[in-house]
Structure 1
Amino acid sequence: MKRSTFATLMAAFCLVPAAPAHAATIWDGDASKGTGVFGAVLCSDPASLTHQDDDGRGEVWKVNKPLGLERCEAHDIRVGGTEYAWREGAAYYLGWDTMTNTDDAGTIFHWKSNGTNDQHQQNYPVLIEVEGGVLKVFHIKVGERWTLAWSTPVERDTWKRVALGIHTSSDPSRGWVEVYYNGRQVHSFTGRTWDDLGNKPRWGSYGAEVVDNRVINWMDGMKVGTSYADVS
């Protein structure tokens, strides 16, 4: 018996794969969710990563790095209870609000390479500092060759929105970084952004130069996605 036209059309339709859903935000690091959103908290006592109420914002993260210590950082992200699997050849966007109590907060973000010592060629390919009242975005090439990619004066105790687009590649001609500040793209550059064992983000306060400073870095609206719209 000849198959009906309707049945033929339905069979063809079933063979067409469903279009994938839009990949929205990968990670939402809202402070109300607790420190389990991070892969690890790298804060030695009495340093701490806590959350507190902020008028008009609700819960925000508070990184407290006391005198005498050089680090208090949130390391990596967890999605669905497990550490996220970052990969080479992908474009990631990371966005967050930051406010520090000092003009010299040290490194507030770095795209940290996995491994130690001779296990990596770039300790941190991308790094953001607050130094002397200036927010600075650096690209660090193989061999600890630092390049100041972009900078802007900032005020302490004032919120600002920072976002980075990072295309991960160990090939300097294929990796790229986009820099966004307070809602607009302010810079972009190409270069190696993926080290031998891969990379993960860290946020907080870090650096030998801030051992004698008490640094508080408040953070809010922390997101990771695959487009700027996901984290803006």
Structure 2
Amino acid sequence: MRTSLLATTAAAFAWCLVVAHPASASVIWNGDASAGTAVFDGVLCDSPGSVTAQDNSDGRGTVFKFNKPLGLLRCEAHGLSVGGSRYTFKNNSTYYLGWDTSTNTPDAGTIFQWKSYGTNDQNQQNYPVLMKVEGGVLKLFHIEVGEVWTLKWSTPVTTSTYKRIVLGIHTSDTASAGWVEAYYNGAKVAEFSGRTWDDLGNDTRWGSYGAEVQDKRVINWIDGLKVGSSYADVAS
């Protein structure tokens, strides 16, 4: 009887510990705009362009404003800062990237790059995964070795309206092992395999970029930036 009572008490205590101390979340990075641009490893936006954090009084709180004026090729944020240091993505690993985006124009150029390190002959895939807003359409591309572009998914989008995007990327420098999942406003819209990791590694870039929008004024509002190891980490 005493043994049974002790066992019951121990089990109850263990259950309390589980309830009181749930498993830690696997969110790798929370790019909340309230912390300002320090959440990024760097900003690539020459004057008079700017990346700022501000409250637009629309109920969202503080969001990032990527302002690319006329004549500027890019206005982007590069990489993640975790604990004051650049976070290094790794090969043969799975990452989920989530964010809300709203552009002021149907031609915002490249709004996301899974950008390779190195230049020219230092990389085989300059940007294995890339997203654009052009002609009022959001497009997801896979760019293979040899600059072979394949459109994997697209949808019409409305300007000045936030959309939730999640990309799951399993990194691999072999085409047989890498894969990408894409979610749009909570629904899975694409899944494909292929090489997703370049020779010197890859990193994130958000904002606006492209020669095709150099003559346009682009504003890309970005909110809810997160990187995790599962879809649930970054879904909202």
Q: After TM superposition, is the score higher than 0.5? A: yes
Determine whether 1:41 maps to 2:43: yes
> Runs of at least 4 residues of structure 1 off by over 6 A?
none
Determine whether 1:69 maps to 2:72: yes
The CA deviation string for residues 129-156 of structure 1, in whole angstroms up to 9 with x for no partner, is 0000000000000000000000000000
Q: Give 1:22 shift.
A: 4.2
Contact 1:107–1:130, Cα closer than 8 Å, also in 2: yes
SS at match of 1:202: strand
Q: Give 1:198 shift.
A: 0.4
Q: Give 1:21 shift.
A: 4.7
Between the aligned partners of 2:182 and 2:176, the Cα distance in structure 1 is 18
Determine whether 1:146 maps to 2:149: yes
SS at match of 1:62: strand
Aligned residues: percent identity? 69
TM-score between the two structures when normalised by the length of structure 1: 0.90
Q: 1:179 aligns with which of 170, 179, 182?
A: 182
SS at match of 1:173: coil
Determine whether 1:128 maps to 2:131: yes
1:26 maps to which residue? 28
Determine whether 1:213 maps to 2:197: no
Contact 1:23–1:226, Cα closer than 8 Å, also in 2: no
Between the aligned partners of 1:174 and 1:100, the Cα distance in structure 2 is 34
Between the aligned partners of 1:164 and 1:88, the Cα distance in structure 2 is 16
Determine whether 1:225 maps to 2:228: yes
SS at match of 2:232: helix
The CA deviation string for residues 23-45 of structure 1, in whole angstroms up to 9 with x for no partner, is 52100001100111101000000
SS at match of 2:200: coil
Q: 1:156 aligns with which of 145, 159, 174?
A: 159
TM-score between the two structures when normalised by the length of structure 2: 0.89
1:60 maps to which residue? 63
Between the aligned partners of 2:138 and 2:37, the Cα distance in structure 1 is 26
In structure 1, the gaps of 5 or more residues are 1-19
RMSD: 1.0
What letter is aligned with 1:78?
S
Q: Give 1:225 shift.
A: 0.1
The CA deviation string for residues 156-213 of structure 1, in whole angstroms up to 9 with x for no partner, is 0011000100000001010000000001111100000000000001000000000000
Of 131-140 and 80-89, deviating more is: 80-89
